[in-house]
Amino acid sequence: MIHLVIGLNVAIALLGFGLAWRIWRLKRTLTSASVVIAAWERHVHGLLDAQTTPALILQGQRATASTRQRYFQLQRQLQQLQRIFSIALMILRFWPQGSRRPQRRPSNQ
């Protein structure tokens, strides 16, 4: 009977040690995660400073608007070029074939 009680106590102690080891590993993981998150928060806080952030956002908005405007200009120019090329292609298709100058043949001397 005493052997059974000692065996149960050892089993309970081993389970307790296993649980304590897992909790210790979890604490270590959470600590390292909190250090990383705190460093990231400090970095983001430095980037999003209340004095510089609005100016940076406005600068980004202006750059986006400028890029969008340039894109639309390029899109219009592309459409104009496509029209020019399609007109040139139609002219080449319907141009009379006989009016082309004959190619010179090399003379045999």
For 94, half-sphere exposure in the C-beta direction (CA atoms, 13 angstrom radius) is 5
Distance (Å, rounded) from C-alpha 28 to C-alpha 22? 10
pLDDT single digits (tens) 35-90: 999 999 999 888 777 777 788 888 999 999 999 999 999 999 999 999 999 999 99
Q: Which residue matches tokens 């296993």?
A: 18
**Do 57 and 41 belong together in one domain?**
no
Q: Is residue 33 part of a domain?
A: yes
Q: Tell whether 31 and 58 lie within a shared domain.
A: no
As a whole number of Å, the end-to-end CA separation of the chain is 126
Q: Does residue 65 share a domain with residue 38?
A: no
Q: What is the pLDDT of residue 44?
A: 87
Residue 106, in any domain of the structure: no
Per-residue pLDDT at 10: 95
Which domain does 84 fall in, by range? Answer: 51-94
Q: Is residue 104 part of a domain?
A: no
What's 51's DSSP letter? T
- Domain contains 109: no
Q: How many domains does the chain have?
A: 2
